Chains A and B, each alone.
Chain A
């Protein structure tokens, strides 16, 4: 067997096993019903906060022209903390809680495939929540989401490119987590919280001060969210209305390629540093 095909086989096996392991860790603490309720109640409650804010305050209530884009943006954004925190948290969980990270490194495992697999388990749970939220939006809140009018091609392209982008973002954060102690939990949450604010998830980007909006415009997640909005609703936000669908997806694909290079490089550097400093089996009583 050639070295390349052996490497591919190892990556696929690592990915598959990590996805299964991640799913078990995510779900087997409760029976399926409790787990389903848990997975849905939290994101639905978050969405309902927005619903009430609009219903109570906005001049047109839920009929506000901003609301559909805000609701869909908020639903789709569930993927971001799930994958970002999911991958970076894997480092902490395996290193400090289960004490397994050193064994991952001593086994014939592709670490990138392993981390991505753990992220997939989180993304799977998030996917169910996203679908339920969009269904609630369509049926209960009468948002203009119709199966017949969804741009499935754009949706598939955006989802695929966006998932890869988030996975590389997660690996980048995983690298940071690998060489930091005690404050690890804040990294994923802070980044996800910052992106929630800067990417115009729940308000139009131009509501932010100019300099913050400019930061939001260079973050690829802003473009990805708008591509998803266009796929689901038929229209995105006014701020990016000058860009065609093709251009939006191209921005996401191009930035994913750049991010891939950066994150792999950064992770390898962090890994080398972690090995040199003996951090792979660090215990900080997180």
Chain B
């Protein structure tokens, strides 16, 4: 296939794999409802904990923002990392492998479609949460805030693409592994409180997950007064680290896909179902 033809196929694949998430995922109204309602339930529970202990109002804002970002982490776990496992179980994975296209394009399509669909849900969580709990945010630097948000998503979905290729080797443990990465990540990434509360060493270790630094930076830019003494690093430093992480995760995802796919092929794991 010529270079131009290969690119055309690549982008058509990206578009084709993103389509079910951009369009299809909005058609199942119950999914849309649950994907907004479940994070909101959790947010509401944590808001009332803070109210019970008379925390400053900004902490309610921290929780609402953390709840919205939870939607992205859930999407990365269940619709990126575990996706190829589901595809294997439903018999689609073989079709992906035999199709004359790049597997990276498939992963990229999954990531872009997931980002779009999840952004709709996260926006709903932020809007409803802010209105319900009267959260007031002060946007101090729009370009940096946008930069942090977009870079966080790129790094996060890059990590998702890497996990997705690693999960090619998994059977049922894929489901359990994704399940395991929920509460512990909510804890170490500071979804419901500033990550600095865990101490600098834990916060630094948790920074391997892009959402840790992304959340900390976004909180600094939205709640500057409260975060002045609670920030982990400056927002600019966190943006710089996130940019590096985004590149590293995308490169690793590309290499990981080739390595794990070859390994899964050799060990005959690509078509094993119900394992």
Interface residues of A (CB under 8 A from B): 29-30, 38, 41-43, 45-46, 48-50, 52-59, 64, 66, 70, 97-98, 182-183, 185-186, 189-190, 193-194, 196-197, 201-204, 207-208, 285
Let me know if B96 is at the binding interface, CB within 8 A: no
Q: A45-B186, A182-B30, A183-B34 are in contact. Are A97 and B274 (CB under 8 A)?
A: yes
Let me know if B116 is at the binding interface, CB within 8 A: no
Interface residues of B (CB under 8 A from A): 28, 30-31, 33-34, 37-38, 41-42, 44-46, 48-56, 59, 89-90, 171-173, 176, 179-180, 182-184, 186-187, 191-194, 197-198, 274
Chain B hits for A193, CB < 8 A: 38, 41-42, 45
Q: Cα distance A30–B171 when bound, in Å?
A: 10
Whether the Cβ atoms of B59 and A57 lie closer than 8 Å is yes
Q: Cα distance A196–B45 when bound, in Å?
A: 7
Q: Cα distance A22–B166 when bound, in Å?
A: 27
Whether the Cβ atoms of A53 and B30 lie closer than 8 Å is no
Nearest-neighbour CB distance to chain B for A285, whole angstroms, equals 5
Nearest-neighbour CB distance to chain B for A32, whole angstroms, equals 14
Question: B54's contact among A59, A183, A186, by CB below 8 Å, is which?
Answer: A59
Whether the Cβ atoms of B44 and A197 lie closer than 8 Å is yes
Apart from the given pairs A52-B198, A190-B41, 9 other A-B contacts in the complex at a CB distance below 8 Å: A42-B180, A52-B193, A57-B53, A59-B54, A64-B53, A193-B41, A193-B45, A197-B48, A201-B45
Whether the Cβ atoms of B49 and A194 lie closer than 8 Å is no
Whether the Cβ atoms of A53 and B193 lie closer than 8 Å is yes
Chain B hits for A197, CB < 8 A: 41, 44-45, 48
- When A and B form their complex, which 9 residue pairs have the shortest distance between CB atoms, in order from nearest? A186-B34, A183-B30, A203-B52, A193-B41, A45-B184, A45-B183, A58-B53, A46-B183, A29-B172
Whether the Cβ atoms of B38 and A49 lie closer than 8 Å is no
Q: Cα distance A57–B49 when bound, in Å?
A: 10
Whether the Cβ atoms of A207 and B52 lie closer than 8 Å is yes
Q: A196-B41, A196-B45 are in contact. Are A204 and B52 (CB under 8 A)?
A: yes
Q: Cα distance A194–B179 when bound, in Å?
A: 20
Whether the Cβ atoms of B28 and A29 lie closer than 8 Å is no
Nearest-neighbour CB distance to chain A for B92, whole angstroms, equals 9
Whether the Cβ atoms of B48 and A49 lie closer than 8 Å is no
